[in-house]
Amino acid sequence: MTLRRFVLAAALGAASCGVEADVLIGGISGTDSSVAHPVVRYADAANGFTVALSSFSTDNGSDVMRTPYALTYEPAERVVYVSDFVGQAIRVYAADASGNLSALRVLNPPALGQPRKVAVSTEHDELYTTFAGCCVATYGRTSSGNAVAATRYISWGGLSGSTTRLNYPYAVAWRAASEELIVADNNPGGGGVILFFDRLASGNTAPSRTLEGDQTLLSVSANTLAYDAAHDEIFVVAQTGGAPGTYPDRIAVFDASASGNTAPKRSIEGAATLLEGVSAIDYDATHDLLYVTGGGFSGIPARLLAFPRTANGDVAPTRSVCGPQLPGEPIGVAVVPADDEIFRGEFDFTGC
């Protein structure tokens, strides 16, 4: 795994016709993951070579947010969960956090390992996370400290007799409609798979269903995912199998009820999309947009890209954000709307 898969987060929003929100992007600049790295805040209308509005970080001596790998916005409490991969902690900040400040709470038991994308169920007051090369863990939503035990673990699939099929789970999403956890993973021998587990699954439990096979377009990888409850859709980022040393990607869109070797209902891919070296994806319900972040390695520009949710084929992004304040390696994204208004915006692509 390259470090590009280990660091980024973003909270996004809208600021048109009275509706305002922010885009928060986390990641690292350079190769030193032992120092503090911030989450950077952009205006919702940001496009092209753009200056950030502000940032937040934690750098207080012994307490340092080292690698903000992924962000998850939770609207009920109005907070952002930051998965600090190298720091081995899940940090929770107010959605409007700014400056150098302590997190509202920090979950960092040794068993957490290196956390990836977090999902939250307010219905059950639970937090779900995957961590590198292992498992899916459930904690209480407001858990904090280094002595907290997980409520449940779905164990690693590499153990003798295991049926979980968890290999290197990249991200988890919560589907309330079916009480399921949705996990993006790759098979040990190659090829992406989406694993579905009952919320109460624990230990050596087989997935209730899977999405995998050549028709899914996940046959190379399934690097991360996002879920849109309003349209009941899953958005999966997968490599397309380019030449060695290249990282062309696609966004494959599935109904959340799909299973087996099922073709996506839409797929965004091709040269015009600029989808290369993608590390994270999230859905912005305020503007009905998909956001992806990535690049910053192998000559790929570091970028934040936006596409209409219903985009299909080789289409150019609606927005592309770059600039000196974007993390050198952006690796995560999440949407933070200012309120519950729904506004359909239009943006001009100026490119970068």
Between 332 and 289, residue with greater pLDDT = 289
Convert the pLDDT of each residue in 179-235 to its tens digit: 999 999 999 988 999 999 999 999 999 999 999 999 999 999 999 999 999 999 999
Percent of the chain with pLDDT over 70: 90
d(CA 167, CA 155) in angstroms, rounded, equals 10
* Whether residue 38 has pLDDT greater than 70: yes
Average pLDDT, the chain: 88
d(CA 302, CA 206) in angstroms, rounded, equals 38
d(CA 292, CA 283) in angstroms, rounded, equals 9
Convert the pLDDT of each residue in 53-107 to its tens digit: 889 999 998 899 999 999 999 999 999 999 999 999 999 999 999 999 999 999 9
Q: Among 121, 120, 122, which residue's Cα sits nearest to residue 83?
A: 120
Domain span holding position 277: 10-337
Q: Is residue 345 part of a domain?
A: no
Q: Among 13, 10, 109, 21, which residue's Cα sits nearest to residue 68?
A: 10
Q: Is residue 303 part of a domain?
A: yes
Q: Is residue 278 part of a domain?
A: yes
Q: Is residue 344 part of a domain?
A: no
What is the 8-class DSSP label of residue 3? G
The model's confidence at residue 19, banded by pLDDT at 50, 70 and 90, is low
Q: Is residue 56 part of a domain?
A: yes
Q: Is residue 5 part of a domain?
A: no
Q: Is residue 350 part of a domain?
A: no
- 236 and 194 in contact (C-beta within 8 Å)? yes
Tally of domains within the chain = 1
The model's confidence at residue 23, banded by pLDDT at 50, 70 and 90, is confident
- 118 and 72 in contact (C-beta within 8 Å)? yes
- 153 and 135 in contact (C-beta within 8 Å)? yes
Q: Is residue 242 part of a domain?
A: yes
Q: Among 274, 316, 315, 278, which residue's Cα sits nearest to residue 296?
A: 278
Phi and psi for 56 in degrees, rounded to 5?
A: -140, 150
158: domain CATH number? 2.130.10.10
d(CA 308, CA 39) in angstroms, rounded, equals 24
